[in-house]
Amino acid sequence: KNEVEQSPQNLTAQEGEFITINCSYSVGISALHWLQQHPGGGIVSLFMLSSGKKKHGRLIATINIQEKHSSLHITASHPRDSAVYICAVKGLGANTGNQFYFGTGTSLTVIP
């Protein structure tokens, strides 16, 4: 059983398209993180959410705590957005031991 489910697993888009990546989780959380990993392997944290919505440039992240769901949107996608996007949640409370749980990632390719 995976505590974090991401969809889609793979995504190919044309440059300029609007992209949505979804994340659902099954545990109580203190925060949800969206991470970006480029082919070189390094990981960058894009957003940390505990409620509501955040925007940074062309990236928007939302979370619905009641539905245990988060989305990452990329507007006007660009080839440099090609990367793996990973959803991670920090568990809250004794049941989760305050662990991190990760989705399997969404591999995004943006074609010029």
Partner 1 sequence: DSGVTQTPKHLITATGQRVTLRCSPRSGDLSVYWYQQSLDQGLQFLIQYYNGEERAKGNILERFSAQQFPDLHSELNLSSLELGDSALYFCASSPLAGGVGELFFGEGSRLTVL
Binding interface with partner 1 (CB under 8 A): 29-31, 33, 35, 41-45, 48, 50, 86, 88-92, 97-102, 104-105
- CB closer to partner 1 out of 60 and 92: 92
For 97, left (φ over 0), alpha (ψ -120 to 50), or beta?
left
Q: Helices (H) and strands (E) in the chain — how many of each?
A: 0, 11
To the nearest whole angstrom, how small is the minimum distance from the Cβ of residue 105 to partner 1? 7
- CB closer to partner 1 out of 74 and 91: 91
CA gyration radius, the chain? 14
To the nearest whole angstrom, how small is the minimum distance from the Cβ of residue 44 to partner 1? 7
The neighbouring-strand residues paired with 31 are 90
- CB closer to partner 1 out of 70 and 91: 91
Reading the block at residue 45, the tokens are 């944290």
